[in-house]
Amino acid sequence: MNERTLPPTGGMSAASTEPRPQAGAVPTLAVEQRLQWLAAFAAALAQVGPEAFVECLTAWLLPAVADMYCLALVQPDGAIETRITAHADAHLHRLLTESRAWCYHDPSGAGVVAEVIRSGRPLFFPTMDHALYLAAARDAPHAELRSALQMHAGAVVPLLVQGQAIGALSIGIMAPERRLDQSDAGFLNEIAQRIALVLDNQQLRRQAQEAGEARDASLAIMAHELRTPIAALITQLQILRRRVDEADRYDERVLVGMKMLDTQVRRLNVLVDTLLEATYFDRQPRPLAHERFDVGQIVRRVHDAFLDTLTSHTLHLDLSREALIIEGDPLRIEQALQNLLQNAVKYSPYGGNITLRLERYGLHAQITISDEGIGIPPEARTRIFERFYRAANAINQGISGVGVGLYVVQAIIALHNGTIVVAETPAAGASFVVELPLAPA
């Protein structure tokens, strides 16, 4: 096989009109060089995306390793199809890619590709008996193609992932003086394993993306479905409240119960809203109001709404005396703070103190929400803002959640040109610091 230690310049070799050295024209690579070649080959394949995969593969394999190659892949339904093929000779390349004769392989048939995939073992043809090769063609077009290819030696190597063949790499050599030997067998196996790894990674990434999209879609549908009954509950509660207000006499306990219902339904509403927004945030950010408002009033409102609902936590409010005016959407800031406070409660299952502090910090309003709960492991401190990420301690302790709240909170804060970080806490618990730029006077 030809010497090639430098990454190729790219481009389908067959499409190029420049003369290329034939495989076997220079001596076989030394072991050391082969290892270097393999390392560079693997690095090049790992760097390209699925779109450029074939181009990259072709540029590396042709003609350094062979004059032609084909990749047959096992399809989800078990069928075996040759999906990728290339030849160093432009004319033969066209012939190969235009012909469909070689595309399908009977998975249980006698063809070598199917046999290699079934057995997981390579087959080498150090020299090819042309008469036999042509006789084994499936049909006339297949025989015609084989005859045109003038193959002199070849190999079919399985692409193995955890012992299972996901396909096969076939290579063909045209130069009659070229022989495939035992060292080529090992080299081709190594090449095939690197290709298999990249293909497997591509497949996993595709599956993960599809799963993510399916999860997004079902979450969005669920959230949409929940919105209608929640809206109905909110309306009914408003009607009930008006009736109670108009009544001459009512039981005080009814009022307490209604207030509790009201708080919980509103909390549910925020939760569902957050869920819906997390699935669509990237694509359709909601329009933002542009108002000047005192962030202190919002902090107080969030504090007051939570105060009544807490049983095992003590909520402290530490509010700046001066008005801290920011520009943006007060409802969205309220939504973000509600989320942070809900987390503070949820992630301190044994109760404790929760502090909500607002102060001026240079040209920013700084809001700190601290609790004495389970805390956030250092390795999770930045990752918790990713969509669907949940820290291990939260999962291990069985605290339920979806992992989208902080993603939305961070997006809302960013829309206000602000930042949110997890502060280092000397004691147990978590502390989130939000900074929002003050509006110019």
Binding site for ligand ADP (CB under 6 A): 343-344, 347, 371, 373-376, 384, 390-391, 394, 401-407, 430
CB closer to ligand ADP, 149 vs 374: 374
Q: Which structure tokens are listed for 393?
A: 């301690």
Q: Least CB distance from residue 34 to ligand ADP, whole Å?
A: 47
Q: Least CB distance from residue 301 to ligand ADP, whole Å?
A: 20
CB closer to ligand ADP, 138 vs 383: 383
Dihedral of the alpha carbons of 143, 146, 152, 156, in degrees to the nearest 10: -100
Q: Which residue's Cβ has the minimum distance to ligand ADP?
A: 401
CB closer to ligand ADP, 167 vs 405: 405
Pairing of strands 104-105, 123-125: unpaired
Q: Buried (b) or exposed (e) across 192-219, using 16+ Cβ within 10 A?
A: bbbbbbbbbeeeeeeeeeeeeeeebeeb
CB closer to ligand ADP, 65 vs 345: 345
Q: Least CB distance from residue 383 to ligand ADP, whole Å?
A: 8
Q: Least CB distance from residue 334 to ligand ADP, whole Å?
A: 16
Cβ–Cβ under 8 Å, residues 76 and 20: no
Q: Least CB distance from residue 375 to ligand ADP, whole Å?
A: 6
CA distances from 46 to 53, 57, 262, 284, 305 (A): 9, 11, 54, 33, 52
Q: Least CB distance from residue 216 to ligand ADP, whole Å?
A: 15
Q: Least CB distance from residue 338 to ligand ADP, whole Å?
A: 11
Neighbours of 96 (CB within 10 A): 21
Q: What angle do CA 116, 65, 184 make, to 5 degrees?
A: 60
**323 Cβ contact list (under 8 Å, min separation 6):** 294, 296
Alpha-carbon Rg for the chain, nearest whole angstrom, is 33
CB closer to ligand ADP, 82 vs 343: 343
Pairing of strands 325-328, 364-370: unpaired
HSE, CB side, 13 Å, CA atoms: give it for residue 261. 15
CB closer to ligand ADP, 159 vs 408: 408
CB closer to ligand ADP, 173 vs 384: 384
Q: Least CB distance from residue 339 to ligand ADP, whole Å?
A: 6
CB closer to ligand ADP, 191 vs 271: 271
Region for 403 from its dihedrals, namely left if φ exceeds 0, alpha if ψ lies in -120 to 50, beta otherwise:
left
Cβ–Cβ under 8 Å, residues 178 and 153: yes
